[in-house]
Structure 1
Amino acid sequence: MGFPPALPLDTGRASSIVICCIVFPCLAALTVVARFVARRQKAVKYGWDDYLVVLALLALCGQLTILILGTIYGGVGHHNARLSSENIAFQYKVKTLAVLARQHVLNSARYSLQSSSPSAHLSVL
């Protein structure tokens, strides 16, 4: 029983990362626009939940911009065996920034869902 063959080092996932980082914010933006169009057609006032959704969308675009720049300049999506130590250090910086932006996206979306609920009271925790 042998080991499976090693992955070739020339196949990276950088193009897949860039494609996903472009497609998903576009889908998210279409969803947010549809939300505002529906609110306008029903003549419902905009609330905190709407503004928090826009804030979450902006944070998502920021996070994915960080990932795209990390892919282009830092080698995100490529095998570490092919990268220099500077690129690997840059990847850790990109990862840290992406995690911070992800937390902001999730918190904004969570508060948006809480403020649109019937009980409509925000908790800090």
Structure 2
Amino acid sequence: MRHLYKNLLQDAISNKIILATPTTLIVILKSVAMSWQQHNVTQNALEIQTTAIELHSRMITFSEFLKDIGDGLKSALGSYNKAVGSYTGRLLPQGKKLEELGATSNKKNIPEIKMIEDAARELNVE
């Protein structure tokens, strides 16, 4: 019977078969399990990298939108305050004078409009 197993190891290797005892089989299976775990960790790391790159790109786009909104608010606030300044300095005195003279169209008085002193919070991208 020994002659039947003479070429067993060579035949197994040539057919890409690993012969293992119960003890070595456990070691091989644990090695394969660890290899799969490492593969999963690597796949997760690659997915995290891809997600991080996409997130960064989206953050850039969103921060550009916020900057544009902030610039628009600043411009609108400046224009509003200029209009209020003109209203307070030129229109309101004339309107008040008309009210004092009784030349009004109804019982309402011209309201006072105040400038907006608050500024939009600056976007800090550092």
Q: TM-score range by the shorter chain?
A: 0.3 to 0.5
* Larger RCO, structures 1/2 (Cα 8 Å, 6+ apart): 1
What TM-score, normalized by structure 2, do the two folds share? 0.33
What TM-score, normalized by structure 1, do the two folds share? 0.33
Larger Rg: 2
